[in-house]
Structure 1
Amino acid sequence: MVDGDGARRTDERPAALWAERLAEFACCPVLARRDGPHDGSSAVAVTTLVWTDGPTVTQMRALVTEFSALEPRITGTALGFEHHHTARGRALGALAWLDRDPARVRLPEAIVAQMAAEQIGYPEAAPAHWQTRAAGLLGLGPHGGEFTLPALRLLQQSARSHGWPAALRWLDGLADEPGNRLSVVR
């Protein structure tokens, strides 16, 4: 384990071991990073769990609670949570969140992206047809493969105009015709 300032800690092995076991438990890579005072002050040091895609923060907290019964060394450890998202994970999450209630296409795209990131766990495990649609959404970005709010806005505008099923067919069509690239104009 590495401290926030990059210094190696003497107590890194136990935390690294339980982080590896937690990663298996959570079904995604998890890094345990020690943050906090390095000057011997009485402030509390925090072990920050860092992961990409996989469970939401709420789901990770529940997993840690379950996991602590198996790994007693985690009990009493001050934990922080740092959840990152890949572009594909963000696109899949937004699509899944909108699909749960298509009326959400009327919300601002920033809220859709934020709520999806907070509420959709394991987006990378979506079925193939959702992976294809995510590729279509990512292809709308300025560099292709990038999740952007303007691309999400374009999808939402399509859904508001033509309905959610038609917007999904449009994304499916974007993937079927890769030579036909569209870009959002700002």
Structure 2
Amino acid sequence: MSTRSWDAWRCGELLGAATGTEVRLTWSGRPGTGAWSGWVVQWHDGPTEAQMRATAAELLAVGVGPPADELSYGRCLTAEGEAVALLLWLAAHPRALRSVGAVHLVAARDEVPYPERADDDTRARAVELLARGGGRLGYEVLRELARHARCGWAEVTAWLDGPVAPVVDLGAERARRRGTSRRRRRF
């Protein structure tokens, strides 16, 4: 292992210990200014990017590893983490309930730290929200969430705490209906 790779590994270990999440530095190969410009700090869920940058600036200022300002940072939210972050963000911003959209999801990704540490009710609601979207937060789920959110937070929680409506494959349903209508014409 090269000295640079060892320093990157050690930096990931230090940042992980400080933030309570698994952190690793990976080489992206992107050119830039500085000896460490091609390295990216990566982690799932956990602190926001701003919090990770602040932690790195504090830890790495003492001369341990690379300069924090030469590194790139990339936080990745798991599907559940993304759903939890959105629900927590909406609960904290009730005015946004009038028009929930993709912009709110982006704000939640950027502003909500440690979604994996949310309370059990929020995490269960996030799982339900994902179930309504086939495991992801697509536009259809956001549109349905927006429809309920217009009636207030109590309506959102009631919707997510209630039974899940079955997912209908529209293509299969259309094909089934076309097959039914053709059979009727033959008689």
Name the aligned partner's letter for residue 153 of structure 1: R
Q: Does 1:146 align with 2:136?
A: yes
- Asked if structure 2 preserves the Cα contact closer than 8 Å seen for 1:31 and 1:50, the reply is yes
Question: Contact 1:30 / 1:49 at 8 angstroms: preserved in 2?
Answer: yes
Higher-Rg structure is 2
Greater share of helix:
2
Q: In structure 2, do the counterparts of structure 1 residues 134 and 15 end up closer, same or farther at CA, with 3 Å as the change threshold?
A: same
Question: How high is the sequence identity, in percent, across the aligned residues?
Answer: 30
Pick aligned residue for 2:117 from 120, 125, 143: 125
Q: CA deviation at 1:131?
A: 0.6
| Corresponding residue of 1:172 | 161
Give the CA deviation at 1:181. 3.1
**TM-score, length basis structure 2:** 0.79
Q: How does 1:36-115 map to 2 (within 5 A)?
A: 36=29, 44-46=35-37, 47-69=39-61, 72-75=64-67, 78-115=70-107
What residue is the counterpart of 1:181 in the other structure? 166
Separation of aligned partners in 1, 2:63 and 2:20: 16
TM-score computed with the length of structure 1 as normaliser? 0.79
SS at match of 1:114: helix
Aligned residues of 1:36 and 1:43 also touching (Cα < 8 A)? no
**Aligned partners of 2:46, 2:147: CA distance in 1, in Å?**
29
Instruction: Provide, for residues 29-54 of structure 1, a one-character-per-residue CA deviation record: whole Å limited to 9, x for no partner.
Output: 1110123369xx98754221011111
C-alpha distance 165-74 of structure 1, shift in aligned 2 (>3 A): same
Q: Match of 2:149? A: 159
Shift of 1:166: 1.7
RMSD: 2.7
Query: Structure 1, residues 150-170: CA drift from partner, whole Å, max 9, x if none?
Result: 21221121120x321121121
Task: Give me the whole-angstrom Cα distance separating, in 2, the residues matched to 1:134 and 1:37.
Answer: 36
Structure 2: 5+ residue stretches without partners: 171-187
Corresponding pairs, count: 170
Question: Which one of 4, 18, 21 corresponds to residue 11 of structure 1?
Answer: 4
Q: Secondary structure at the match of 1:73?
A: coil
